Amino acid sequence: MNHSEGRTMATGEPNTAAAALALLKRIHFYIGLFVGPFIFIAALTGVLYVITPQIENKLYAEQLLTTSNGDAQPISRQVEAARAVVGEQAKIYAIRPAPTQDETTRVQFSQEGLGASKSRAIFIDPVTLDVKGDLIVYGTSGVLPFRTWLDDLHRGLLLGDIGRNYSELAASWLWVATLGGVLLWAFTRTGKTRGRRISKQGARQRRGRLWHTSLGLILLVGLLFFSATGLTWSQWAGNNIGIFRADMGWLTPAVTTSLGERNLENNKDAQPADEHAEHHMSAMGDMKMADMPGMDMSSMSPNAAPAAKDVTVSAATFDGVVSAARDAGIDAAKIEIRPAYQADKAWTVSEIDRSWPTRVDAVSVDPNTLKIVDHVYFSQFPLLAKLTRWGVDAHMGVLFGVANQLLLVFFGLGTCALIAWGYVLWWQQRPKMAGQRHPATTLIHSWRALPVLARWCFLALVIALAFSLPVMGVSLLLFLLIDVLRWLRQTRAESSRQMTSSAK
């Protein structure tokens, strides 16, 4: 028993600290009991996703790697080799040239019948022009099938958009559980027991609390980081975060692809880039405007000119566009080229090296004149846009390479252990007999024990969070419903026992 609780029992009236502590305990308990399994699944599947690069290098070694020696052929010839497989009329979605001598070039084609956000990738040996593989890949970044499956498992339990609510539920409550746990630890710490003997069960519970608390404190920063970055990916809260960032001018800049004098004077109309493109693959709803090659807001304006006719993309143009981009400062080994199939659209060449130091500069190039239309350099990004880029990449385990992966594995498995210890504590401290706890120990009862001002301030905070994080709001209503049902059941049981005692 801590000091505040003792003072409450002595006076018979709950003070602010004791009431707040009781409410915090109840919330922490419900998060652990009902949301804990979802956080556990998200952490475990996240660990599996993080280690996929090494697994993919084994699974898809034939497609990704080559042992050929010599100078790489021009990109145009590599494109022609890929087109020989899929046909001359197939539209190229994007090209990722081989970044090193022992890797292949990936040429992605749009193809009807593949479904939303899917493309056909032909893997070309850049030296011999041999076709090394032919796979259906997913999303704007051409994620390979195995990682796609793990990503969909992590994000939505393979259930599509409906399943994404599980990961949003986990991310919405994770930060609350983390900060709540820290507050509980801070306000319920007691000194060493002096000469007081405790039972074996009490000693076991104390060790369990020590493990749970210590692990929570060790993982504190990581848990808050995963909650914040995870919410930016979420279906409902993510949209609210995007709107807030847009209102504050914190979006990531992107190059404009519109040609013509009217459009070149208004480069600000370019749709901001999508930092989460690596994870966009499961449904058309996931593919935002910035994920589509050649799309910017100027073309979506009500006053925009009619779309230009489709044009034929020549393989030879790739060489000139890449050369112009290199001259403009695109010097990373990992790049992506996206052609445009409309006469009023520019091509884009982007750096895609998201390790440290981050290299994600981008330019748009007029394919007719090979002049630079627009450019965006990472060094000129607003600070928050840089932090968002780094946060997303660190969450995916690519920012610091293997070190980043190992750190995420530690935090992921540590989170699983933390939740497991929480369930052990609950099992050890659960009521052994019906009616052992008073039926009024509910969230609403704990809230009503707060002073009036604190009560309404807390309610205002809850309402604000419920609107900002809709899945949290809905789940909180379910918590309250469970509380009410539990209260009614225990009240009836208590009344029944009293009537039985009176009858005797």
Give the tens place of pLDDT for each residue, 117-170: 789 999 999 999 999 999 999 877 778 999 989 999 999 999 988 999 999 999
- Distance separating alpha carbons of residues 329 and 360, to the nearest angstrom: 11
Q: Is the pLDDT of residue 399 over 70?
A: yes
Nearest to residue 278, comparing CAs of 41, 25, 50? 50
* Ranges of each domain in the chain: 21-60+153-191+199-250+402-430, 65-152, 254-401, 440-504
Q: Is the pLDDT of residue 492 over 60?
A: yes
Q: Is the pLDDT of residue 8 over 50?
A: no
Ramachandran region of residue 129, left (φ > 0), alpha (ψ -120 to 50) or beta? left
Q: Is the pLDDT of residue 293 over 50?
A: no
Q: Is the pLDDT of residue 201 over 60?
A: yes
Q: How many residues does the chain have?
A: 504
> Among residues of the chain, what percentage have pLDDT more than 90?
58
pLDDT digits over 87-116, tens only? 988 999 999 999 999 999 999 999 888 877
Nearest to residue 36, comparing CAs of 340, 485, 416, 461? 416
Which tops the pLDDT comparison, 353 or 265?
A: 353
The residues, ordered by sequence, that sit 6+ positions from 68 with a Cβ below 8 Å of its Cβ are 125, 126, 127, 128, 130
Q: Is the pLDDT of residue 500 over 60?
A: yes
Helix (H/G/I), strand (E/B), else coil: 332 = coil
pLDDT digits over 155-193, tens only? 999 998 899 999 999 999 999 999 999 999 998 876 555
Average pLDDT over residues 324-344: 95
The residues, ordered by sequence, that sit 6+ positions from 26 with a Cβ below 8 Å of its Cβ are 441, 442, 443, 446
| Helix H or strand E encompassing 212 | helix 200-218
Ramachandran region of residue 394, left (φ > 0), alpha (ψ -120 to 50) or beta? alpha
CB count within 10 Å of CB 420 equals 15
Please identify which residue in the block is written with the tokens 């809260």. Answer: 237
Which tops the pLDDT comparison, 302 or 234?
A: 234
Average pLDDT across the chain, whole number:
84
| Helix H or strand E encompassing 208 | helix 200-218
| Helix H or strand E encompassing 364 | strand 362-365
| Helix H or strand E encompassing 120 | strand 118-124
